[in-house]
Amino acid sequence: MITCVFRGRLGNHMGFIYSLFKFCKDRNIDFNKVSFSKYENSRVRKNYYVNECFPLYSSFLQSRFNKNYIDVSKLRMLLYKDFSTFDIKDDFFIFFYSTVMKTFNDLDLIEQLFYNKDIYDKVLKERNYLGNNLAIHIRRDDFLIKTKNQEKWKITYSIGQYNEMIKNNKDKFDKIIIFSDGIKWCKYYLNREFRNKVIFDESKLAYEGMIRMSSCKDIIMNPNSTYSLWGKNLLKITNKIYNK
């Protein structure tokens, strides 16, 4: 049995889950050998995980989660780079998701893992952006806190670049939808000249925002944000099912 423990937030969780199941699928490993812990360790915000992440997952994926706390000190650490040499045995392992894997191209597997019809129907019924609309994801929050070792990946566009994106796309799309964890900042700094074309999404929960982002026709992703990367990945599935 492989018991996996999470780090990061929704985008990292999804990349981590996909990477593991893709690994198993490509090697004909029974998915029933995989289970997950809802807890990383004492630093994890339990309510964030349960409220912001878990509802997005398919019923199949939800059934793979343990209810009990996993003592990570007793698990062998396995990094993504070790996948190619990994042989599954009857042991417990901990996987740490790595952004090394940038290509998530198995749409059937993505749909199996992350399409929860009841949740999608509910979220998109409340508000959606189906049609000729463009999503722009502006990552703030932890990307503003840089350490010496994180300079290379915690990057984002400047406010001038975001305004230029809006200007260049305002005539190509009906509306431009701004998704951000710093929506007040966006409202204050983005050029007011184009406000008649812009909608600021104020989804309260991370999975709701991601589903609504994926209902747009296209997405401009924030550099190195797995959240907008997964919004882009889900776009093909959401539009296939709902944008008819």
pLDDT digits (tens, 9 = 90+) for 117-158: 999 999 999 999 999 999 999 987 655 555 444 444 455 788
pLDDT in tens, 210-220: 999 999 999 99
**In a shared domain, residues 63 and 168:** no
How many domains does one find in the chain?
2
**In a shared domain, residues 168 and 228:** yes
Domain that holds residue 104: 2-114
Answer yes or no: is pLDDT of 162 > 70: yes
* 39 touches 130 (CB < 8 A): no
* 242 touches 124 (CB < 8 A): yes
**In a shared domain, residues 83 and 144:** no
Torsion, CA 28, CA 29, CA 30, CA 36, rounded to 10: -140
**pLDDT reported for residue 19:** 79
**In a shared domain, residues 105 and 167:** no
pTM more than 0.85: no
**In a shared domain, residues 26 and 91:** yes
**Domain end call among 114, 147, 173:** 114
**In a shared domain, residues 86 and 145:** no
**In a shared domain, residues 77 and 137:** no
**In a shared domain, residues 152 and 213:** yes
**Domain end call among 63, 79, 114:** 114
**pLDDT reported for residue 191:** 84
Strands (E), 34-145: 34-37, 65-66, 76-79, 93-96, 133-138
